[in-house]
């Protein structure tokens, strides 16, 4: 058995402490300084998951991969990727060739510059991750965190997760440092491409009195941000309704599932019968001979 590296051992220790396994380990690099860290997702999916059933007999619906020309189902091992270069013209992707041009999966968060947090348009922020210091890296972690707090700056970095390169924002968050994957400019539509109303108050007949009243209203509604007061009330209402249906006996057994369970039960029963027969010294279907 291969011996685990010291890095793996440290990762296992962190997992027990935090309750989550890191999805990436490496280091933050700025100038000549390196801070070893592990990356943990802060996303927690809480979406309702629904299954698709046939409304006629309540059987599960199975989605198949169908050949558009023949109408026949296509086996997984015959499916290839392709890029539509122009209308109806495709470049079939050769996985081996694609691997040659794939970006090298480095283990470094390379900070290229520090910018004021206020300069970043929130539309660029996409997905947050938590960075935890590795063993004996706390000093560098705290130093970088506190410097960014004091300067009110965040680090703009490049990093590779799996096979894709991301631009990311490194920033302090309380006692933690987080990194938020960012969208590239080409991944965002330009809001100036839309027909938006201008700031000409006269054009929209906005009076000074209306403006003052609006400012007063906003001031009266101003509060300290508390995310805990907001809940997914729709999800809660749906789950409450589902619970009510279940307690009222309105659950549905999927068509075909009972038969599958019965088949499984029969297999178990046969295995038990065979084992009992072997223990009794008889073959299935034979009667045990009398000792008299």
HEC-encoded secondary structure of 261-282: HHHHHHHHHHHHHHHHHHHHCC
Stretches where the chain sits below pLDDT 70 are 1-19, 102-105, 254-274, 278, 281-292
> In order of start, what are the domains of the chain with their CATH numbers?
6-43+102-187 (2.40.290.10)
pLDDT value for 291: 47
pLDDT for residue 56:
85
Q: Which CA distances in Å does 93 have to 74, 79, 97, 165?
A: 18, 11, 8, 20
The reported pLDDT for the residue numbered 97 is: 76
**Which of 13, 228, 233 minimizes the C-alpha distance to 133?**
13
Q: Convert the pLDDT of each residue in 148-188 to its tens digit.
A: 999 999 999 999 887 788 999 999 999 999 999 999 999 99
For residue 13, the model assigns a pLDDT of 41
Q: Give the model's pLDDT for residue 7.
A: 38
Residues with Cβ within 8 Å of 89's Cβ and at least 6 positions away in sequence, in order, are: none
Residue 55's CB: how many other CB atoms inside 10 A?
Answer: 8
Q: What's the pLDDT at 48?
A: 77
**pLDDT attached to residue 184:** 92
Rounded distance, CA 85 to CA 94, Å? Answer: 15
């Amino acid at each position: 058995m291969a011996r685990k590296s010291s890095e793996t051992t440290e990762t296992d220790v962190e997992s027990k402490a935090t309750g989550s396994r890191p999805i990436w380990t490496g280091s933050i690099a700025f100038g000549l300084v390196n801070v070893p860290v592990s990356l943990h997702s802060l996303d927690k999916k809480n979406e309702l998951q629904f299954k698709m059933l046939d409304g006629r007999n309540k059987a599960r619906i199975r989605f198949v991969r169908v050949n558009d020309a023949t109408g026949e189902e296509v086996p997984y091992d015959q499916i290839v990727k392709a890029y539509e270069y122009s209308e109806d013209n495709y470049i079939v992707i050769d996985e081996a060739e694609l691997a040659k041009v794939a970006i090298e999966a480095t283990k470094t968060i390379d900070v290229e510059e520090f910018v004021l947090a206020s300069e970043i348009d929130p539309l660029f922020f996409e997905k947050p991750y938590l960075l935890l210091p590795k063993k004996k890296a706390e000093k560098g972690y705290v130093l970088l965190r506190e410097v960014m707090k004091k300067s009110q700056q965040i680090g703009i970095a490049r990093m590779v997760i799996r096979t894709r390169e991301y631009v990311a924002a490194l920033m302090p968050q309380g006692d933690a440092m987080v990194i938020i994957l960012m969208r590239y400019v080409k991944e965002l539509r330009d809001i100036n491409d839309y027909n938006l109303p201008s700031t000409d108050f006269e054009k929209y007949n906005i009076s000074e009195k209306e403006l003052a009243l609006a400012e007063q209203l906003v001031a009266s509604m101003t509060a300290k941000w508390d995310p805990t007061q907001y809940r997914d009330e729709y999800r809660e209402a749906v789950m409450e309704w589902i619970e009510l249906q279940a307690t009222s006996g309105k659950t549905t057994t999927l068509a075909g599932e009972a038969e599958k369970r019965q088949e499984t039960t029969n297999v178990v029963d046969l295995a038990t019968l065979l084992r009992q027969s072997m223990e009794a010294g008889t073959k299935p279907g034979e009667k045990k001979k009398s000792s008299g």
